[in-house]
Chain A
Amino acid sequence: MLIAFLQRAVLQGIPLLFGSTGEILTEKSGNLNLGTAGVMYVGGISGVIGSFLYEQSHTDLNAFWAIFIPILCCLFGSLVMGLIYSFLTVTLRANQNVTGLALTTFGVGFGNFFGGSLIKLTKSDVPSITLSRTSLFFNKSLPFASNLGWFGKVFLSYSFLTYVAIAIALIMTFYLNKTRSGLNLKAVGENSATADAAGINVYRYKYFSTCIGSMVAGLGGLYYVMDYASGIWSNDAFGDRGWLAIALVIFAIWRPNMSIIGSILFGGLFIVHNYIPNLSMGDQELFQMLPYVVTIIVLIVISMRKRRENQPPACLGLNYFREDR
């Protein structure tokens, strides 16, 4: 029971982990990308389109291509979203909140539109696209995991993208704290003008971190479709997970390694209502707000304690223009 709960929590949590890791990288450059929800949608649907076309055109699926094509499409789709956001906010200096929200509107619409169109193409009775053949490749876990008892089930039973997510988060932690370019990036987010004066190319850092961040977040959408939903795309199924990923950024106090634990905790909070006996439907809804409540509490606590290292990047939400004073 507990093991099953943990496994479900991880499955729920990993899309959030992708999303929040990407968003942390983006926010470290001072860009508050509220479009993450849209980016994850686009990442998901791009991967679905890729694998849909591949499944339709080939009867025998090659394992390499079946994994490679969706990932590539997903990365490309979310990269385009990241580029739109960076172009508007960094080059054209548009308001970040407005741009982010427009990006979400656009991304969710894009996902549902192409999702709906593909559903129409398949002429299926249920409003969803099933890519179970591709999903099988994504869901491959280590063959010996089931022989190792609870240890194998809790730690080794997941698909490869799960470990990719954790690896990305760990690499990101290393990058942000131990490499020169990571420290430069943090300088851009804390005080762009000072970073500029120190010879750091502020615009380049903002562009790169936003685009790479979007690509990472986009993978979260793909993970959701291929692993969590076993290759079934239905419109709006992704729900509010994009916003939950932004919540997780705060919960993890802008640290990717914290967000690994945070994502699993959030995943657990998200599904805990299924594991508490005798809950009515209404109470289940109340339980679903737990992640948000926890986030608000964290937000309040970090602002009350005023520890310098726990604060959001100081330039978060502000655009940089050299000639501004």
Chain B
Amino acid sequence: MSNANTKVKEPLFHVVKRIGMPTWQSWLIRIVSVVFALIICGVITVLMTGENPLQVYATIIKGAVGTERRIWSLAQNTAILLCVSLAVTPAFKMKFWNIGAEGQVLIGGLATTWCMLNFGDKLPNWLLIIVLLVVSIVSAALWAVIPAFFKARWNTNETLFTLMMNYIAIQIVSYYVLIHSNPKGSGFIGVINPNTEAGWLPKLFGQQYMINILIVIFLTVFMYIYLKYNKHGYELSVVGESENTARYIGINVKKVIIRTMILSGAICGIAGFLLVSGTDHTITRDTAGGRGFTAIMVSWLAKFNPIYMILTSLLIVFLQRGAGEISTVFNLNQSFSEIITGIIIFFIIGSEFFVNYSIKFREKEGK
């Protein structure tokens, strides 16, 4: 068998693809990676502050869920992030890299703001809220369908297109905020309709954020069913796996791309509506606050499964708020939480390698 003349040195190890790892095992790997990341972050924090590491972790937990108000705020932030993540998921499953969620959320929020300012005192509140919802969904869906149209028609690179659309949306919002700033010249819109609370989502069970959370829970279930048990969801995952297969079995790829992006934009619009009408009652260029980008990571980490996304978005928000608390308590810079988030995401991204691939070491000589 072996030919002495062409003896090639076998590398020490090589990488092969794994086929079907049990779910519990893959989740074990992910959890281990998060634990590793937390240890590394703890070490970094200890080096920075010289505090007892246990105290650092205690501070994270206290910062995230320390008081009732914090728990609600955590739930609210998780809900919004989850909503944006749900929005980008169908597009990603189709391998349409919609990184324009930031802009789509802003456009939805802007539409809400526009209606609140213009119809605030003309419509009864229940009607106004329905109008807000519809208008924000429609405008964000229109915003999202522009890159989808060009992708479907001319195969324009959607990653770069949607990325650029973000900044156009940000500038439009800045423009709108400046010309409608209240008081004039301040550069901020301020709280809209502070006295009448027109267009504000009402409190439910005495909790301001209850409706937001309920809407997002509904959307999560909807998206889970849509992706898993609906023909549309099946079609878009076929398009994502292989466009040629999709075309061969008679799926209208262009239609699927445009339809999916309308859905994606519409849910971003809801997120924008929840942010403006349900949370901030105002808009700035930072209203989306990078959630459009974080959502991509949330969705990807959850393997595009809406139910897992609850966990991943909770994890990210938990860490952000916890790390924010660390920076306040230990007198560090607020950006500390971004570093922590970055490190943890690096670890989780890296851990996927061990889920999908395994390393085979060189076998002993003479076999």
Q: A residues engaging B (CB < 8 A)?
A: 32, 34, 84, 88, 91-95, 97-99, 101-113, 116-117, 120, 235, 240, 243, 246-247, 250, 280-283, 285-286, 288-289, 292-293, 295-296, 299-300, 303-304, 306, 312, 316-317, 321, 323-324
Say which residue of A91, A106, A304 sits within 8 Å of B346 (CB atoms). Answer: A106
> Closest chain B residue to A291 by CB distance?
B167
A-B pairs with beta carbons under 8 A, tally: 161
Measured CB to CB, the closest approach of chain A to B9, in angstroms, equals: 16
> Closest chain B residue to A287 by CB distance?
B171
Q: How far is the CA of A107 from the CA of B337 in the complex (A)?
A: 12
- Are B175 and A93 in touch, CB under 8 angstroms? no
- Are B168 and A293 in touch, CB under 8 angstroms? yes
Q: A98-B300, A286-B171 are in contact. Are A105 and B160 (CB under 8 A)?
A: no
> Closest chain A residue to B285 by CB distance?
A285
- Are B168 and A292 in touch, CB under 8 angstroms? yes
- Are A285 and B178 in touch, CB under 8 angstroms? yes
Contacts of A296 in B (CB 8 A): 161, 164-165, 168
Q: Does B341 contact A (CB under 8 A)?
A: yes
Say which residue of A105, A117, A243 sits within 8 Å of B345 (CB atoms). Answer: A105
- Are B164 and A116 in touch, CB under 8 angstroms? no
The 3 lowest CB-CB distance pairs between A and B, nearest first, are A109-B338, A106-B342, A116-B333
Contacts of B164 in A (CB 8 A): 247, 292, 295-296, 299
The contact sample of 13 A-B pairs, CB cut-off 8 A, is A88-B350, A91-B353, A97-B99, A98-B345, A102-B345, A104-B293, A109-B336, A113-B335, A113-B336, A235-B335, A247-B163, A299-B161, A321-B15
Q: Does B52 contact A (CB under 8 A)?
A: no
| Chain B: interface residue total (CB-CB under 8 A) | 53
Q: How far is the CA of A3 from the CA of B155 in the complex (A)?
A: 41
Q: Does B179 contact A (CB under 8 A)?
A: yes
Contacts of B167 in A (CB 8 A): 240, 243, 289, 292
Q: How far is the CA of A112 from the CA of B163 in the complex (A)?
A: 23
- Are B342 and A285 in touch, CB under 8 angstroms? no
Q: Does B328 contact A (CB under 8 A)?
A: no
Contacts of A92 in B (CB 8 A): 349-350, 352-353
Q: Does B154 contact A (CB under 8 A)?
A: yes
Q: Does B245 contact A (CB under 8 A)?
A: no
Q: A102-B342, A109-B335, A116-B333 are in contact. Are A289 and B156 (CB under 8 A)?
A: no
Contacts of A235 in B (CB 8 A): 335
- Are B352 and A113 in touch, CB under 8 angstroms? no
Q: Does B119 contact A (CB under 8 A)?
A: no
Q: Does B125 contact A (CB under 8 A)?
A: no
Contacts of A98 in B (CB 8 A): 296-297, 300-301, 345, 349
Q: A289-B167, A293-B168, A304-B154 are in contact. Are A94 and B160 (CB under 8 A)?
A: no
Q: Does B279 contact A (CB under 8 A)?
A: no
Contacts of B349 in A (CB 8 A): 88, 92, 94-95, 98-99, 102
Contacts of A117 in B (CB 8 A): 332-333
- Are A300 and B342 in touch, CB under 8 angstroms? no
Contacts of A312 in B (CB 8 A): 157
Q: A293-B168, A323-B16, A323-B17 are in contact. Are A95 and B300 (CB under 8 A)?
A: yes
Measured CB to CB, the closest approach of chain B to A314, in angstroms, equals: 11
- Are A303 and B296 in touch, CB under 8 angstroms? no
Q: A88-B346, A285-B174 are in contact. Are A112 and B300 (CB under 8 A)?
A: no
- Are B297 and A300 in touch, CB under 8 angstroms? no
> Closest chain B residue to A38 by CB distance?
B342
Q: A101-B293, A282-B175 are in contact. Are A108 and B154 (CB under 8 A)?
A: no
Q: Does B150 contact A (CB under 8 A)?
A: yes
Measured CB to CB, the closest approach of chain B to A248, in angstroms, equals: 11
0/1 string, B284-301, CB within 8 A of A gives 1: 000000100110110011
Q: How far is the CA of A235 from the CA of B333 in the complex (A)?
A: 11
- Are A246 and B160 in touch, CB under 8 angstroms? yes
Measured CB to CB, the closest approach of chain B to A141, in angstroms, equals: 32
Say which residue of B150, B163, B350 sits within 8 Å of A243 (CB atoms). Answer: B163
- Are B168 and A289 in touch, CB under 8 angstroms? yes
Q: How far is the CA of A111 from the CA of B339 in the complex (A)?
A: 9
- Are B156 and A106 in touch, CB under 8 angstroms? no
Contacts of A243 in B (CB 8 A): 163, 166-167
Q: How far is the CA of A295 from the CA of B290 in the complex (A)?
A: 22
Q: How far is the CA of A63 from the CA of B116 in the complex (A)?
A: 59
0/1 string, B170-203, CB within 8 A of A gives 1: 0110111011000000010000000000000000
- Are A299 and B297 in touch, CB under 8 angstroms? no
Q: A94-B353, A106-B339, A285-B174 are in contact. Are A112 and B159 (CB under 8 A)?
A: no
> Closest chain B residue to A35 by CB distance?
B342
- Are B353 and A101 in touch, CB under 8 angstroms? no
- Are B17 and A286 in touch, CB under 8 angstroms? no
Contacts of A99 in B (CB 8 A): 346, 349
- Are A286 and B155 in touch, CB under 8 angstroms? no
- Are B346 and A299 in touch, CB under 8 angstroms? no
> Closest chain A residue to B185 by CB distance?
A281
- Are B97 and A109 in touch, CB under 8 angstroms? no
Q: How far is the CA of A296 from the CA of B166 in the complex (A)?
A: 11
> Closest chain B residue to A105 by CB distance?
B342
Contacts of A324 in B (CB 8 A): 17
- Are B156 and A303 in touch, CB under 8 angstroms? yes
